[in-house]
Amino acid sequence: MNGRLTLASGVEMPLVGLGTWPLTGDEARAAVHHALAAGYRLIDTSEQYANERDVGRAVRDSGVPREDIFLSTKFNARWQGRDLVARACDNALRRLGTDHLDLFLIHWPNPWLDRYVDAWHGLIALRDEGRVRAIGVSNFLPAHIDRLIAETGVPPEVNQVELDPTLPREELRAYHAARGIATEAWGPLGRDGRLLRHPIVVELAERHRRTPAQIILRWHVELGLAFTARSSDPARIAQNIELFDFALSRDDLAVMGRLDEGRPPARDPESHGH
């Protein structure tokens, strides 16, 4: 079973996604194949990952009807412009071998270019034309989203950001919730594999008879977050969606609150992007 959330436009988005960076070629195709077979319906890719062709091929070869799959991709800085976004979409559709995107994201704000509002106008037009079902952003800070809303009146449906129990982004989640923006976590298992070995996570895993990864991913589900978890191992891919036959209690979540390291995200969107 796979949980879902409803985006502001009414489009339904699965909570459990397969992340595909840095997988390419056979490895990317195999991961998508195993994920779809295990029940995933959200696949996350990007122009930057150079694997959209592989992802698209695996989706087409899967036998799963296209309309059952939520295909999400992102475009790079050079397409940040009202009309350029339409070309970015054409290119993504061609590489993925499909006729529509379920979610199209501005990958990074690149604020020094000062073009993300133009890009947002372009995304709104694509959604109006029906080539893209839902539109959003990635790695945006509240100040960037404030500008999108002030200058277009249209909030993003999704902001995909680095988020895990060591970096819970509580203020950002509250900001999103107040504006009807869904939060999607990248790097949901935490940086460097350390969180998977943390005594709090290991103890909860033993008590619930689950793996540490399942405890962490269930934490995302409990918070109502969508996430993109990446693995190239078929057993781990399957394990990462087996999250809907157990729950974390209020006490479990309170204990996991101690995992917050109070650190900033790995990359500052004011100075990093592509």
Q: Which residues are catalytic?
A: 49
Contact pick of 138, 159, 166, 183 for ligand NAP (by CB under 6 A): 138
| Exposure class string for 98-118: b at 16+ Cβ within 10 A, else e | bebbbbbbbbbbbbeeebbbb
Give the nearer residue to ligand NAP in terms of CB position, either 20 or 110.
20
Contact pick of 35, 44, 72, 133 for ligand NAP (by CB under 6 A): 44
160 contacts ligand NAP (rule: CB under 6 A): yes
135 contacts ligand NAP (rule: CB under 6 A): no
Question: Cα(118)–Cα(263) distance, rounded to whole angstroms?
Answer: 32
Distinct helix (H) and strand (E) counts, the chain: 10, 10
The encoded tokens of residue 209 equal 């008879």
Contact 165, 190 (CB under 8 A): yes
In the annotated binding site, the residues are: 107
DSSP structure class, residue 184: E
Question: Cα(236)–Cα(229) distance, rounded to whole angstroms?
Answer: 10
Contact pick of 55, 73, 239, 259 for ligand NAP (by CB under 6 A): 239
Give the nearer residue to ligand NAP in terms of CB position, either 89 or 195.
195
Minimum distance, C-beta of residue 198 to ligand NAP, in the bound complex (Å): 13
Minimum distance, C-beta of residue 229 to ligand NAP, in the bound complex (Å): 4
Instruction: Catalog residues that contact ligand NAP under the rule CB under 6 A.
Output: 19-21, 44, 138-139, 160, 186-189, 196, 211, 213, 228-233, 236, 239-240
